[in-house]
Amino acid sequence: MTSPVLYYVRHGETDWNVEGRLQGRRDTPLNPVGKRQAAVCADILRDLLARDGAAPADYAYVASPLQRARQTAEIMRAALGLVPGDYRVDARLSEIGFGEWEGLTFPEVRSRAPRALAARERDKWGFAPPGGESYAQVAARMREWYGGLKGNAVVVAHGGTARALIVVLGIAPPREAPSIHIGQGIVYRFAKGSMSRYG
């Protein structure tokens, strides 16, 4: 089987994004900017699919169970003329868990746990915050998820899962992937071992 084409969208903006807070598994909603970003992604996706000779209904849709991703998926699907809630949810697409650091900003983490933050800076791929996950652990679940794909898909998830997928697909090495910026209001196309950015 040829490798699937994935259109990947990071959820739209939340208030915690604006505040620089580590969200992880916290179930934060989109803010008004995030809702507009989701609609923009629908327009970008429509154009990209048309370029591929495909219609929005030709692709499977799957999202993280966290509401910021589900809201993004539903706004996109409605704008594409699809039934908003008719998509799959997969827990393996959940954001990287930050454990005890969730809800904090990096300056707050630095004041509370400077040694741990320094350890993270030395090994962003392998480091896991207390009660949280490492990128290596996220990559294991993303590898399993990707291996089960049956065809082309539109994915709505998170920055951390995108970085893990980049390593799973061999696009960047583990030492570089955690620093790759994954923007909001952007559609990423994964195909044939490469990633393209639109938006």
Known catalytic residues are 11, 95
Q: What is the 3-state secondary structure (H, E, C) of the chain?
A: CCCCCEEEEECCCEHHHHHCECCCCCCCCECHHHHHHHHHHHHHHHHHHHHCCCCHHHCEEEECCCHHHHHHHHHHHHHCCCCCCCCEECHHHCCCCCHHHCCCEHHHHHHHCHHHHHHHHHCCCCCCCCCCCCHHHHHHHHHHHHHCCCCCEEEEECHHHHHHHHHHCCCCCCCCHHHCCCCCCCEEEEECCEEEEEC
